[in-house]
Structure 1
Amino acid sequence: MLNASLNKSLYSVIALLVLVMGLGLITSTAFAADEQSSQQQATTRTSDADLWRAVKAGESGYSTDKGLESNVLINVVGNEGKIARDTYLKPAIALAVVGVFAAFLVFYLVNGASKLDKGFSGKMVARWSQADIWLHWIMAVACLLLMVTGILIMLGRHFLAPYIGEGLWAGIIAFSKFSHDWAGPVFILSWLLCVIKWMPLQTFKLYDLKWFLVVGGYINFGPFKGKHPDAGFANAGEKMWFWTLVFFGLFVSVSGLMLVLPNLDLPREASMLALLVHGVSAAILIAFTIVHIWMATVLSEGGMECMVSGYCDENWAIQHHNLWYDEIKDNGTLKYKD
């Protein structure tokens, strides 16, 4: 009887030990599995963070697409270029349009136009050929169309789109894009012909420095009043405008072709650089074009007639381009309108 009780007790103890060992094994296995899962989750979180950090930094990965920069999800240069465009380029274009126009409006209201000291003579002197006039106006119309449509494309969403319907805005922006693309080649060709044809007349001379010192004789008050500096066929201001058109016209033309031609397949860096160069060059040309229009139409009495008929009043020629007038008078090429 005693042996039976002892054996039963031993069996109970052994069973209890087996149960405890089993529970311990299960618990340690579960703990190890949980720890391994936690480590895997931590590794996954770290890997995801590293992955997106690399993506945002512009690092390349792998893609089955073999196109240019297809392995890059986020182009850093593209984002930085967009920030530069919005932060600096858009305000520069707005300043070129509003600021320069407003400055010349104030100048005109204070100073008035530059009148002819002796009035109009009634004698019209030949100044520009018909080919010159056609070239000028073809380039001028193309240039103005490019400027207006470019401003709409760049800034229209800020000053126009909020005040008109979405359908009308869509039509305006689509027309602007179409017109901008097709006016470009016209401008480039006419610009190139004008540069070749007019460059010999645009070399700077020593007397041009005085023109700048007395502001071209356009000031109607103070010590500058009545000062008419020497000038050849083109005065110093016209020469400065011409060479601005030469260099920045080249920049805006090349960068525009880079942006509009689909088969170039440029990297994003080159495209963004072209966009920024295009915008900066356009802002400078817009500012100088506004100055040019003010000078030709408002500030210089009799100046607009030159590019309408090709002739200028003799007193206008003597007052604003005296060296050129003396030259054509001396060499016998002075020609009056019949």
Structure 2
Amino acid sequence: MRNPLRSLAMALLFALACGVAAPAVAQQPDSVNPTASSVQERQLIEALRAGTPGTGTTLSGRITIPDRNAANLVQPQGQAWRAFHQGAMHWVGAIAILGMLAVLVVFYLVRGRVRLEKGFSGVKIVRFSAFERMIHWLVAGSFIILALSGLNVTIGKFILLPLVGEDAFATLSEWAKYSHNYLAWPFMLGIAGMFLVWIGHNIPSRLDWEWLRRGGGIIGHDHPPARKFNAGQKGVFWAVMIGGAALSVSGIFLIFPFVSGGVLAMQFWNIIHGLAGVLLIAVILAHIYIGTLGMEGALEAMTIGEVDLNWAKEHHSLWVEEVASRSRKLPPGAAQPAE
């Protein structure tokens, strides 16, 4: 009789246990509702706002690892950075780049191409050495790819993704990221080379103010005297130097985030990198226009390294005089300005 009694007692205990547990189990939902108030982001934001007003309090949890930053659940500065990157950054880029393109189109329609007043003479004068052209094209070539790959990060998903599809966009973005990281180094090397080679010719002087006052030969048909680089070219030079330095420093911190100083520093350098990039793109668009379509005879300076003597006398008359004083290879009268 002992075994049947023991079995009966065990059955009663099991039934009692199930009866106690049933109400608790019945209270548990079958699945988690992602729209329930308990998991809404708004509650986290409200909890964040409950902190000290104006302090930008970070909503944090508890962790057991040494990295205290891992405890942060919500970072107010990160939301501000995201809003800027996905909002204001697009407007800045559109105004700078599309605005510059619009200005150049209007300028070309109104002013037309800057042509040589006396036509081509057929006599060539050396403008840039092979080394100078190599540095220029090193910076120019790498910057074009850096600009395109950088714009892909900012607006690629809005413009390129709908055109090529998700798979192609993912592949292109992956290679764009590789090219952006690796071509940054020749770009920085070229910027340093440009500074060392051309800094002596790009120091501002009173002559630059006169060149600007007279429109630099771009507005109207006046050709104010200039040395090897006029005020406009000096402006491009310093824009490239300052913008290139900002891109280089911020880019290094973005490539090596552990030396940037934390998440807040990364967000700061990301903003600097983006702003410097779109502004420099706008400047380079104007530079490309003047060096190709905008001015007759200018392209040869950076392709073959030589320019027509009449072009040099019209746009850089003082430089022609300097070259003539150092060389006997110029024909008689070459040092006389074309004005």
Q: Which amino acid aligns with 2:241?
A: V
| 8 Å Cα contact 1:208/1:230 also seen in 2 | no
Name which of 258, 267, 271 aligns with 1:276. Answer: 271
The match for 1:87 is 87
| 8 Å Cα contact 2:223/2:315 also seen in 1 | yes
**TM, length-normalised to structure 2:** 0.79
How big is each residue's C-alpha offset from its partner over 1:3-56, in whole Å with a ceiling of 9 and x where there is no partner?
xxxxxxxxxxxxxxxxxxxxxxxxxxxxxxxxxxxxxxxxxxxx9998555689
Name which of 202, 222, 247 aligns with 1:252. Answer: 247
Q: Deviation of residue 138 (structure 1)?
A: 0.9
The match for 1:183 is 183
How big is each residue's C-alpha offset from its partner over 1:60-95, in whole Å with a ceiling of 9 and x where there is no partner?
443122236222111211111111222221221122
Secondary structure of 1:110's counterpart equals helix
The match for 2:32 is none
| 8 Å Cα contact 1:75/1:268 also seen in 2 | no
Tell me how large the CA RMSD over aligned residues is.
2.2
Q: Deviation of residue 215 (structure 1)?
A: 2.2
Is 1:243 equivalent to 2:234 in the alignment? no
CA distance in 2, matches of 1:289, 1:334: 34
- Does the C-alpha gap of structure 1 residues 51 and 299 become closer, same or farther in structure 2, counting only changes over 3 Å? closer
Unaligned runs of 5+ residues in structure 2 are 1-42, 332-339
After superposition, residues 98-137 of structure 1 pair within 5 angstroms as 98-137=98-137
* Range with greater deviation from structure 2 (324-333 or 239-248): 324-333
Q: Deviation of residue 213 (structure 1)?
A: 1.9
CA distance in 2, matches of 1:233, 1:324: 5
The match for 1:299 is 294
Is 1:309 equivalent to 2:309 in the alignment? no
CA distance in 1, matches of 2:205, 2:49: 59
| 8 Å Cα contact 2:260/2:266 also seen in 1 | no
The match for 1:26 is none
The match for 2:327 is 332
CA distance in 1, matches of 2:276, 2:255: 16
Secondary structure of 1:119's counterpart equals coil
CA distance in 1, matches of 2:240, 2:199: 11
The match for 2:29 is none
- Does the C-alpha gap of structure 1 residues 68 and 132 become closer, same or farther in structure 2, counting only changes over 3 Å? farther
Q: Deviation of residue 333 (structure 1)?
A: 6.7
After superposition, residues 45-194 of structure 1 pair within 5 angstroms as 53=49, 57-67=57-67, 69-194=69-194
The match for 1:290 is 285
The match for 1:203 is 203
CA distance in 2, matches of 1:124, 1:97: 35
* Range with greater deviation from structure 2 (121-130 or 60-69): 60-69
Identity %: 30
- Does the C-alpha gap of structure 1 residues 229 and 49 become closer, same or farther in structure 2, counting only changes over 3 Å? closer
Q: Which amino acid aligns with 1:276?
A: I
- Does the C-alpha gap of structure 1 residues 331 and 84 become closer, same or farther in structure 2, counting only changes over 3 Å? same
Larger RCO (CA within 8 A; separation ≥ 6): 1
The alignment of Structure 1 onto Structure 2 pairs a total of residues equal to 285
How big is each residue's C-alpha offset from its partner over 1:172-223, in whole Å with a ceiling of 9 and x where there is no partner?
111111111111111011111111111111011101112212221112xxxx
- Does the C-alpha gap of structure 1 residues 126 and 54 become closer, same or farther in structure 2, counting only changes over 3 Å? same
Q: Deviation of residue 314 (structure 1)?
A: 0.4
- Does the C-alpha gap of structure 1 residues 230 and 50 become closer, same or farther in structure 2, counting only changes over 3 Å? closer
* Range with greater deviation from structure 2 (98-107 or 141-150): 98-107
The match for 2:318 is 323
CA distance in 2, matches of 1:49, 1:291: 45
Secondary structure of 1:312's counterpart equals strand
| 8 Å Cα contact 1:126/1:334 also seen in 2 | no
Unaligned runs of 5+ residues in structure 1 are 1-46, 220-224
Is 1:232 equivalent to 2:227 in the alignment? yes
* Range with greater deviation from structure 2 (254-263 or 124-133): 254-263
| 8 Å Cα contact 1:68/1:267 also seen in 2 | no
**TM, length-normalised to structure 1:** 0.79
